[in-house]
Structure 1
Amino acid sequence: MTPLLVFDGQCGFCTRALGWLRLLDRRRLIDTVPYQRSGVPELLGISREQCAGSLQWLGADGSRAEGAAAVNAALAYALAANWPERLYRRTARTQRRLYQWVAEHRHRLPGITPWCVRYPDDCG
């Protein structure tokens, strides 16, 4: 199974961050989709509200993560390195707080044209 990262396609900051991940994921190992795409929350077995609240990760092994843990899982997979997850284990509390702040303020942070504005057919 190809790992899947689910993001907020209405968020310009989220779309910009996705671009950074794609630069790191040169081999295109990770599928990325906006949670607004039809059937995505159901695929994950969670609500649209949960998807709206934080980034979601579904690993190749079926593992799940959200928020800061999802960021680190995606980075580790894209870089084929374990240091992002090792760092997360040491700094999880701080990273979760920082992630929560970013998630709550993401629509005020610098971004680019949101994915769903650029590709409306991909967002249902």
Structure 2
Amino acid sequence: MTTRPVLVFDGDCGFCTKSVELVERRIDPDVEITAWQFADLDELGVTRERAMHEVLLVTPTGEVHGGAKAFAKLLAYRRGVWSVPGAVLQIPPVDVIAAWVYRLIADNRYRLPGGTPACAMSPERRPGAQAG
């Protein structure tokens, strides 16, 4: 296991990749960032199905947070000013709204800037996909 949190995202999705690049550039969180396609999912304690469904943040203690909560925790790991929105995103009812917005974006990412037709396909149907 790692001593830093690990952010796991869909490396085949252009929108996801651009989003992660933006996070790295603007927020600079103290986390390891890896595409699920290159991650040791067993070591991280997550299933391939979950990694295909949402962005994940795995803490050094093995806690797994997905979707909007993963993003909120990511902000909290940055500390300073970024920890404020990270905390707010975890407070009811904001957490419910954030989860809804996350799912809306995730389900429509192929329509967003940087999205590609591959984003609209389930990972197992993408060209070159292998069963795993």
| Band the TM-score falls in, shorter-chain normalisation | 0.7 to 0.9
The alignment's TM-score, normalised by the length of structure 2, stands at: 0.74
Q: Does 1:85 align with 2:86?
A: yes
Structure 2: gaps of 5 or more residues: 119-132
* Bigger-Rg structure (1/2): 2
Query: Alignment partner of 1:110: what SS?
Result: coil
Q: Give the count of matched residue pairs.
A: 112
Highest relative contact order (Cα 8 Å, sep 6+), 1 or 2?
1
Structure 1: gaps of 5 or more residues: 115-124
**Closer/same/farther in 2, CA of residues 84 and 63 from structure 1, 3 Å limit:** farther
Q: Does 1:101 align with 2:75?
A: no
Question: Quick check: 1:73–1:84 contact (8 Å CA) kept in 2?
Answer: no
Q: Distance in 1 between matches of 2:42 and 2:108?
A: 26
Query: Alignment partner of 2:37: what SS?
Result: coil
The alignment's TM-score, normalised by the length of structure 1, stands at: 0.78
Matches within 5 A, 1:1-124: 1-26=3-28, 29-37=30-38, 39=40, 41-80=41-80, 81-88=82-89, 89-90=91-92, 91-111=94-114
Runs of 4+ in 1 over 4 A off after TM superposition: none
Cα displacement (A) at 1:38: 5.0
Question: Quick check: 2:72–2:87 contact (8 Å CA) kept in 1?
Answer: no
